[in-house]
Amino acid sequence: MAPILLRSLSRLGIALAFGAASLGAAAQPSYPDKPVRIVVPYPPGGTADILGRLLAERLAPELGQPVLVENRAGGGTAIGARYVAGAPADGHTLFVGTSTSHAINPALQSDIGYDPVRDFAAVAAVAEVPYVIVSHPKRGFRTLKDLVSYARAHPGELNYSSAGTGSSNHLGGELLGSVERIRITHIPYKGSAPALNDLLAGQVDFMFDLAPTAQQHVRAGRLTALAVTAAHRSAVLPDVPTTAEAGVPGAQITAWFGVFAPAGLPAGIQQRLAQALTAILAQPDTRKRLADLGTNPMAQQGAAFQSFVARDYAHWKALVAQAGIKAD
């Protein structure tokens, strides 16, 4: 065969191979190839919803597609969580998971309908809101150790209010009692607002309340802040020590928030999402918005965040079993 013909056929072969490769690449849709939904398992207006909308606003330019927030409230977060657990694992359905949806409620309800670890891919942690242990000024406690010492000397006399049996602030009290081996009396209410109102009225002795809610009452002198229940102090109450600084290192509890996807999410998509979220959370205006909400930033993603969720779930499951708590 003539050399010129061979060269022509060779060039044709290369062109055909290149064209086939190009068509193959085009046939593989890039992520995302349609709008992304972020499911929030609460009604509009709460912290999880605000965070979800903040992330959606900033994720859209990072991903090059619209990012929409969809509120699926009900079942104490279970309705939204079950919906996302059953969605396609293609990265187009995400979930604002919380300590409630992925640790406390599954620990309380064995029939909740999903496994918080096996049924989700933990993409990235976003933020945590610490609780602050607040007491009524008439009790005269100035430190957390004052409260613990009194409770130890007067078993069962001190009482604390909560949003209801099995709520986070109920479990905070159970944790404090377990860690310090003290007996304190739980008074459940139907929601955090009435629980806080009775504390302000002096009808109960203390409470685990979210720092952003408690701060105004602490600053006004209506409540005494004894300790923040996180590893770091709160930006809204910077002068209040952590439980560890107050001498009770085991009494940590926070309301944390993170982004999840259905289990089986391809590694490449998970990495793309984690990188986008990391970039968003590093932006100064995002960090300011988080601080204004009274949250502390969290810096975990992928396997590290998945392990964190598994540990938190196991921790609360053990405490619930030990205390014999049943959800309302």
Q: How high is the pLDDT of residue 29?
A: 60
48: Cβ–Cβ under 8 A, 6 or more apart, which residues?
40, 41, 42, 96, 98, 257
- The whole-angstrom separation of Cα 75 and Cα 328 is 12
Q: Which of left, alpha, beta for 238 (phi over 0: left; psi -120 to 50: alpha)?
A: alpha
Q: How high is the pLDDT of residue 6?
A: 39
Residue 194: how many other CB atoms lie within 10 Å: 12
Cis peptide upstream of residue 32 (ω within 30 degrees of 0): yes
Q: How high is the pLDDT of residue 77?
A: 95
Rg (CA), the chain: 25
pLDDT tens track, the chain, 328 positions: 444 433 443 444 444 444 433 333 333 368 999 999 999 999 998 899 999 999 999 999 999 999 999 999 999 899 999 999 999 999 999 999 999 999 999 999 999 999 999 999 999 999 999 999 999 999 999 999 999 999 999 999 999 999 999 999 999 999 999 999 999 999 999 989 999 999 999 999 999 999 999 999 999 999 999 999 999 999 899 999 999 999 999 999 999 999 999 999 999 999 999 999 999 999 999 999 998 888 888 989 999 999 999 999 999 999 999 999 877 6
195: Cβ–Cβ under 8 A, 6 or more apart, which residues?
161, 162, 163, 169, 187, 189, 204, 207
The residue to which tokens 């309908």 are assigned: 113
188: Cβ–Cβ under 8 A, 6 or more apart, which residues?
161, 162, 163, 164, 165, 167, 170, 328
Options 2.40.50.140, 3.40.190.10, 3.40.50.720, 3.40.50.2300; CATH for 130-228 is 3.40.190.10
Q: How high is the pLDDT of residue 123?
A: 98
Supply angle C-alpha 22, 275, 40, rounded to 5.
Answer: 110
The answer to whether 180 and 148 have CB atoms below 8 angstroms apart is: yes
Residue 23: how many other CB atoms lie within 10 Å: 9
Question: Which amino acid makes up residue 111?
Answer: D
Residue 30: how many other CB atoms lie within 10 Å: 9
Q: How high is the pLDDT of residue 294?
A: 87
Question: Directed axis angle between helix 267-281 and helix 302-323, to 10°?
Answer: 90
Tokens standing for residue 241: 């020590």
Element (H, E) at 125: strand 120-135
- The whole-angstrom separation of Cα 168 and Cα 184 is 16
CATH 3.40.190.150 location in the chain: 36-129+254-323
Query: Structure pTM?
Result: 0.85
- The whole-angstrom separation of Cα 123 and Cα 303 is 8
CATH 3.40.190.10 location in the chain: 130-228
Q: How high is the pLDDT of residue 49?
A: 94
Domain 36-129+254-323 belongs to what topology? D-Maltodextrin-Binding Protein; domain 2 (3.40.190)
Nearest to 308 by CA among 174, 116, 80: 116
Length of the chain in terms of residues written: 328
The answer to whether 171 and 251 have CB atoms below 8 angstroms apart is: no
